[in-house]
Amino acid sequence: MDFKDELDFISDKAKQLTDMGIRKADEVISISKLKFRCIQLDALIKTKYTELGKMMYGMVKNDRSDADRIAQAVLEIDQLYRKMAQFNAKIEKMKKIVTCPVCGTKNKFSDTYCIKCLHKLVSTDEEPEDYAFNPEETDEQ
C-alpha cells in the first residue's frame, strides 16, 4: 500500500466516522424534540385536569350538572394521553427498545425474553430501521 492509498483509506474512514457522528447527533436531537413535546403535553394535561376540577367544583357549588362539558373535558385529556403515547412509542423505536406486553419493562431489541418477568418477547428478523424525526408528523397528531 503506497502513501496515496493510505491517505485515501484514512480519508474514507474519517468520512465514515463523520457521517456516523452526524447520524447520532441527529438521532439525539430528534429524541430530544419528541421528549420536549411529551413535556409540553404533560403540562397541557395538568392544565386540563385543573380546568376539569374547577368545572366540577362550580357544578357542586351551584348544585347543577353539566355532563356534556365533563365528558368533553375527559375526551380531550384522553386524546392528549394517546398523543403522548405515540411520541413515547416513537422514542422507543428510535432507541430500539421493546416494551414487555406483560409487565411493561423496557428491554433491548436484541433481548429474546423480558429481563423482569421472562415473558418471550415478540421478535422480528431484523432490527427496526433508523427513525428520522419529522416535525410535521408531530403537529398533525
Q: Hey, what's the torsion of the CAs at 42, 46, 47, 49, to 10 degrees?
A: 140
At 51-96, the pLDDT tens digits run 999 999 998 899 888 888 999 999 999 999 999 999 998 998 888 8
Which pLDDT score is estimated for 124? 54
| Residues 116, 103 contacting (CB under 8 angstroms) | yes
Mean pLDDT of the residues in the chain: 86
C-alpha cell at 76: 380531550
At 35-46, the pLDDT tens digits run 999 999 999 999
CB neighbours of residue 139 within 10 Å: 8
* pLDDT over 90 (residue 126): no
